[in-house]
């Protein structure tokens, strides 16, 4: 059976990617990361999502926290949604470069054909490592910098959400039975999502426009 590594954060987008990968016939090998984020709630939920999808294996890698982000430094406040087009303080330096590098090494070891990552360039916070240009560049790294790439076996970086709005992502996930009740998107990591950070606002907007009801609790909507 063909194998896929899925970057799984415990959030809406990565959970949707799990559902897509499963629907496309892959055996699932999700990977999650402890990178010094403010809370471990997302990792706890990632474990539940992996179990829900009956993943073959679920790796959690620990990466040294380099700071410089509101998501990894308690001295930097998580801002409310601004949507001004600027790269927000919730950007974690080089995060997807690191995540994909770990996922790539793991994919080579297990003989996976694909790596799924839930990035989108439509409804997103403006992070540079979520754009098509970044994925295209990393795919080139895969092709020339790995044994699999040099031998022509290839490992495809799959971004099924890249051109989807958050509403379209929600619709896709609901169609595929994604367990959104097991997810969190809030940057603050509470039992109840804050409803006002970038991630919460975009998630709520997606459910509203999709005509669905978000199954997780919020302090404010």
Binding residue positions for ATP = 8-18
Q: Which portions of the chain are predicted below pLDDT 50?
A: none
| pLDDT recorded at residue 25 | 98
Could you tell me how many helices (H) and strands (E) the chain has, helices first? 7, 5
Residue whose C-alpha is closest to residue 121's, from 13, 7, 8, 5:
13
Binding residue positions = 8-18, 186, 194, 197, 200
Q: Return the structure tokens found at 93.
A: 């330096």
C-alpha dihedral sign at 30, 43, 166, 124: negative
pTM above 0.85, yes or no: yes
Beta partners for residue 31, in sequence order: 7, 59
Q: Among the residues of the chain, which ranges form H helices? A: 12-23, 41-52, 95-110, 132-145, 147-150, 166-176, 198-210
Task: Find the angle CA(38)-CA(102)-CA(69) to the nearest 5 degrees.
Answer: 30
Q: Return the structure tokens found at 122.
A: 């439509």
Query: Tell me, what DSSP letter sits at residue 6?
Result: E
Sheet bearing 59-62, strands edge to edge: 59-62, 27-34, 3-7, 114-116, 156-158
Q: Return the structure tokens found at 29.
A: 């090998």
| pLDDT recorded at residue 86 | 76
> φ, ψ for residue 202 (rounded to 5)?
-65, -40
The pLDDT tens digits for 204-218 are 999 999 999 999 999
The pLDDT tens digits for 115-163 are 999 999 886 667 899 999 999 999 999 999 999 999 888 899 999 999 9
Q: Are 18 and 28 in contact (CB under 8 A)?
A: yes
Domains of the chain with bracketed CATH = 3-210 (3.40.50.620)
| pLDDT recorded at residue 91 | 81
| pLDDT recorded at residue 124 | 67
> φ, ψ for residue 99 (rounded to 5)?
-60, -45
Q: Report the C-alpha gap between 11 and 33 in whole angstroms.
A: 13
| pLDDT recorded at residue 83 | 59
Q: Return the structure tokens found at 9.
A: 């954060």
Q: Report the C-alpha gap between 56 and 43 in whole angstroms.
A: 17
| pLDDT recorded at residue 16 | 98
Q: Report the C-alpha gap between 169 and 21 in whole angstroms.
A: 14
> φ, ψ for residue 94 (rounded to 5)?
60, 20
Binding residue positions for Zn(2+) = 186, 194, 197, 200
């Amino acid at each position: 059976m063909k194998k896929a590594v899925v970057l799984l954060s415990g959030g809406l987008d990565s959970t949707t990617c799990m559902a897509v990968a499963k629907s496309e016939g892959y055996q699932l090998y999700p990977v999650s990361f402890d990178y010094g984020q403010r809370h471990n709630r997302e990792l706890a939920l990632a474990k539940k999502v992996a179990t829900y999808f009956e993943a073959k294996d679920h790796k959690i890698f620990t990466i040294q926290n380099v700071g410089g982000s509101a998501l990894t430094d308690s001295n930097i406040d998580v801002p409310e949604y601004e949507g001004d087009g600027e790269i927000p303080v919730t950007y974690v330096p080089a995060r997807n470069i690191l995540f994909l590098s770990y996922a790539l090494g793991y994919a080579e070891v297990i003989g996976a054909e694909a790596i799924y990552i839930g990035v989108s360039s439509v409804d997103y916070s403006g992070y540079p490592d979520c754009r098509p240009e970044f994925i295209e560049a990393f795919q080139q790294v895969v092709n020339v910098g790995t044994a699999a790439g040099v031998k022509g076996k290839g490992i495809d970086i799959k971004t099924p959400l890249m051109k989807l709005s958050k509403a379209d992502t929600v619709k896709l996930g609901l169609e595929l039975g994604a367990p959104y009740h097991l997810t969190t998107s809030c940057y603050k990591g509470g039992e109840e999502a804050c409803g006002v950070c970038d991630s919460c606002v975009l998630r709520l907007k997606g459910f509203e426009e999709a005509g669905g009801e978000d199954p997780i609790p919020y302090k404010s909507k």
